[in-house]
Amino acid sequence: MSDQLTHTSQHHIKLSEESLQKQTTTLNLGPTHPATHGVFQNIMEIDGERVLETVPTIGYIHRAFEKIAERRPYYQVTTLTDRLNYCSAPINNMGWHMTMEKLLGIKTPKRVDYMRVTMMELSRIADHLVCNSVVAVDTGALTGFTYVFQYREKIYEIFEEVCGSRLTTNMGRVGGFERNFTDVLFTKLDDFIATFPKMMKEFEGLMNRNRIFMDRCIGAGPISAERALNYGFTGPNLRATGVDYDVRVASPYSSYEDFEFTIPVGTKGDVYDRYMVRNDEIWQSFSIVKQALAKIRKIDAEFPDQKNVFYAPEADKFHLPVKEDVYTKMEALIYHFKMVMGEIDAPVGEVYHSVEGGNGEVGYYLISDGGRTPYRLHFRRPCFIYYQAYPEMVEGGLLSDAVIALSSLNVIAGELDA
Amino acid sequence: MALTNETIQEKLTEKFGEQLTEWEVPYGMLTFRAPAEMNLKVLQHLYDAMGFQFMTDLTGVHFPDRKGEELSVVYHLHNLVENIRLRMKIYVPVEKPDVYTATKLFSTANWMERETYDFFGFNFVGHPNLIRILNVDEMDYFPMRKEYQMEDPTRVDKDDEMFGR
């Protein structure tokens, strides 16, 4: 096997001739640096303020998720998915549940779909809020950050009400949710819907047409649509280049076809376009949340018997029984034990399912050999795929543009390294 | 004419004949197997003539029980215009895992192939920079291969026999 390995000396940093002769400077940005918002290392060759070359190094927080997944019962894989993109964990969780449902052939009730859409769009708002406010911080405007984080906090309180945790949510189960939406949750959602637009408009007023911000962002870190597609870009970063590819529309899941929304696109694919696309997507997601909530309420009003539907009944082999039943009925207790010990086998199959995550197409390629754990599980992680275009985007630009290009790409270290 | 799984299969069979095998449609996605040395030809044809210009995913799988074709590379391609996906697989022996690189066609294959090399040890012939990407440089094995177990197999203090592990 040793002949298949590359020599380690190849990995050592080679200083270029110009650098050795002190014509240019070699700058090590990262692995941890306030401007990188995560563990990213870039070894840059700079001439004054111009970036001539940059070599990204990744893998500092690699946690071997794909290997761990091969040893874990299916329901325990959920906790791995929310540690990928920890800014919008519920989307990853539900993408995984939907992959399992596809494998098992489970069709979820409409009410469950709408509940999922509510949670997924809220996490998209949270994800984009963080990204956009961080772009603002990197351009020197710290105020907007403090505005939006109050509302990110409100979204996390909503998550807490649904699943009990905030960042790494482990939300939902195969087939639906672990429990129904509570009345407190509906109150919190109503409060969010009532107060969010005012804050968002204020944030937009601070940033969107701000002359300094625009001058700083327009033309920084651009990429063409053609190159972006070749690099496998998805999500807001692809749409900023003018390609209207969105998994929610291209291959709808979780009843997205029932919702009215538009796909905002940019033109040049620079930092400002990415910022604006995310900004518009926040409004679209906000509208979807409102629609989904209205749909849930409509179902509850028209069909009172469906008020307690929060998971697909045919998913009972993967959905933990209600706690009262576990304590009082023997069969429920047996099922609970079997599930928690992970002794439920999945059918043989090969399935790819993707959802529109905060940063693009989050894909799950699952091979099941009929056992209790996946035979092979591969995560298509959008950050990992588009971060390789970073050198091409920043080379020839200014060093400070490279910093805002990194934050506007919204590269999440957890998703990058898996 | 809109592309469907059947028309794609017809067109590919017309072009490559019997060389493409194991046609399946698991969960609606057309899947086939190509000979390992032909992967670039098929990818190029799919790219130029059939509009599959978006590489969604590239990954490896290890099947230790399949003698002579232990390692598999799985490509997921997407035709964004017709909005249809397909999956192509190639198999190579573990002793000589040579696969032609797709980096010339898809820039995105660069890191994906590096990752697949890193975990499975494929030798992507013609890759511009085939070095480890996520694991430490000093690692001397390919961890996603099935012979490397998650837990240390020499441990005797843990007994999970009762739980089917």
Interface residue of B108, B120, B127, B142 to substitute, partner A, most A CBs within 10 Å: B108
Is-contact A157 A188, C-beta < 8 A? Answer: yes
pLDDT at A338: 85
Q: Report all structural domains of chain A as residue ranges with CATH numbers, in order of start.
A: 2-57 (no CATH), 65-417 (1.10.645.10)
| ipTM computed for the complex | 0.90
Which among B57, B130, B131 has the least Cβ separation from residue A365? B57
Interface residue of A5, A344, A373 to substitute, partner B, most B CBs within 10 Å: A5
Strands B30-33 and B21-24 turn out to be antiparallel
Q: Does A232 touch chain B (CB under 8 A)?
A: yes
Q: Report all structural domains of chain B as residue ranges with CATH numbers, in order of start.
A: 5-100 (3.30.460.80)
Q: Does A365 touch chain B (CB under 8 A)?
A: yes
Is-contact A411 A38, C-beta < 8 A? Answer: yes
**Alpha-carbon gap, residue A91 to A98, rounded angstroms:** 10
Is-contact B118 A66, C-beta < 8 A? Answer: no
Q: Which amino acid is at A364?
A: Y
In chain B, the residue whose alpha carbon lies closest to the alpha carbon of A367 is: B61
User: Which residues, 6+ apart, have CB-to-CB distance to A292 below 8 Å?
Assistant: A114, A115, A117, A118, A121, A259
pLDDT band at B165 (very low <50, low <70, confident <90, very high): very low
Contacting residues of A for B107, CB less than 8 Å apart: 227, 230-232, 388-389
Which residue bears the tokens 């096997």? A1
Contacting residues of A for B58, CB less than 8 Å apart: none
Q: Could you give the residue ranges of the DSSP H alpha helices within A70-208?
A: 78-81, 89-104, 110-138, 143-163, 183-207
Cβ distance of A230 and B87 shorter than 8 Å? no
Cβ distance of A354 and B134 shorter than 8 Å? no
The answer to whether the Cα torsion of B144, B146, B147, B148 is positive or negative is positive
**Alpha-carbon gap, residue A256 to A114, rounded angstroms:** 9
pLDDT at B161: 62
Which residue bears the tokens 């070359």? A53
**Alpha-carbon gap, residue A238 to A217, rounded angstroms:** 17
Cβ distance of A251 and B83 shorter than 8 Å? yes
Q: State the helix-helix crossing angle for A143-163 and A183-207, rounded to 10 degrees.
A: 160
pLDDT at B136: 86
Backbone angles phi, psi at A273, to 5 degrees: -60, -45
Q: Does B153 touch chain A (CB under 8 A)?
A: no
pLDDT band at B146 (very low <50, low <70, confident <90, very high): confident
pLDDT at A325: 86
In a structure prediction context, what are the per-residue pLDDT tens digits for chain A, which is 418 residues long? 545 555 555 556 677 777 777 788 888 887 877 777 778 888 888 888 899 989 898 888 898 899 888 888 888 889 999 888 888 899 999 999 999 999 999 999 999 999 999 999 999 999 999 999 999 998 888 888 888 889 999 999 999 999 888 888 888 888 888 888 999 999 999 999 999 999 999 999 988 898 999 999 998 889 999 999 999 999 999 999 999 999 999 999 999 999 999 999 999 889 999 999 999 999 999 999 999 999 999 999 999 888 888 888 888 788 888 888 889 999 889 888 888 887 888 899 999 999 999 899 999 999 999 888 899 999 999 999 999 999 999 988 899 899 899 889 888 888 888 8
pLDDT band at B74 (very low <50, low <70, confident <90, very high): very high
